[in-house]
Amino acid sequence: MKHFRQFYITIAAITILSVNLHAQASTPYQKDIEDWHATRIDELKADNGWLNLVGLYWLPQGKSTFGTAATNNVVFPAGSITPVAGYFLRTGNTIKLGVETGSDIKINSAPVTGEAVIYQDDQRDLQVMTYGNLQWVIIKRDDKIGIRLRDLKSPLVNSFKGVERFAVDSTWRIPATLQTPTQPASIYITNIIGQTSQQKSPGKLVFTINKQQYTLDALEEGDELFIVFGDATSGNTTYPSGRFVYAKKPGADGKTVIDFNKAYNPPCAFTNYATCPLPPKQNILPIAITAGEKNYGHHM
């Protein structure tokens, strides 16, 4: 009888623990983070996400032929298009596309005839080129102009299993104050291809972790603040070149929140065909931010 009573006490204790854990996991805050992460995964897998990139080709001045043949200046993945599909012609910062007869290449769903301008500096509308499963656009990074190529049927999208994360912990939702400069400020940002540019900054976010004050220089992006940061986990449990996080732009009181549970990997963690910004030196925190996404790095 004594053994049966102990058995039921144990079962009851396990049940109570299970209920408590379920209650913790289903708090509104936990659900908010899980919903945010689910959206994040959907965006990675979308046609305009980062998982289906298969090429990035910088164009020199003059004519560059493209296709799958090795004799081309721009060689697309094997079997993805005809051996010689056409050419890109760069004159200054204007790019034209010419196609071979019979190449079923389209620009914004319309067949290409002759030679078409696909990029110029004052252009407002993005020109999207397609052929079969392929889709490409022009990107500009300072003085570099190139072709960003996607395979909309890339097997990497279907094989993607998600991104490992630290356990959600509301203590990493940190109050912060935006310290605005008296004069317009800017910070130097270097990207992964070695280009450095000066970008406007609305100021420093000042916050406290374990009674120690830290700062992060912010960039402005719409109605949000964009932060590129590194920390003591970078290169260990998280991506070596830092992570990104957004914060709401504060009101007149300067108050906002940095939620490190929403810290995420830059595109370069998923593909070699992105041009991610790196954290400036002053944004590399000397502590471990054990929140948000861990390193993915499966593309290397």
Residue pLDDT, tens place only, 51-109: 999 999 999 999 999 999 999 999 999 999 999 999 999 999 999 999 988 789 999 99
297: alpha, beta or left, given left = phi > 0 and alpha = psi -120 to 50?
A: left
Shared domain check, 225 and 154:
no
Pairing of strands 94-99, 115-119: antiparallel
Domain end: 105, 138, 158, which one? 158
Given a cut of 90, whether residue 20 has pLDDT beyond it is no
pLDDT, residue 3, reads 47
63: in domain: yes
Shared domain check, 153 and 101:
yes
The CATH number covering residue 136 comes to 2.60.200.20
Q: How many CB atoms lie within 10 A of CB 207?
A: 18
Can you read off the two tokens belonging to residue 132?
């079969």
Q: Vertex 178, ends 174 and 181: CA angle to 5°?
A: 155
Pairing of strands 74-75, 62-67: parallel
Local confidence band at 28 (pLDDT 50, 70, 90 cut-offs):
very high
Per DSSP, 291 falls in state -
Shared domain check, 81 and 115:
yes
Shared domain check, 79 and 141:
yes
Can you read off the two tokens belonging to residue 81?
């298009």
234: in domain: yes
Given a cut of 90, whether residue 114 has pLDDT beyond it is no
Q: What is the pTM of this model?
A: 0.87
Domain end: 158, 182, 212, which one? 158
> Tokens 């935006």 label which residue?
178
79: in domain: yes
pLDDT, residue 111, reads 93
28: in domain: no
Tell me the residue range of the domain where 72 lies.
Answer: 53-158
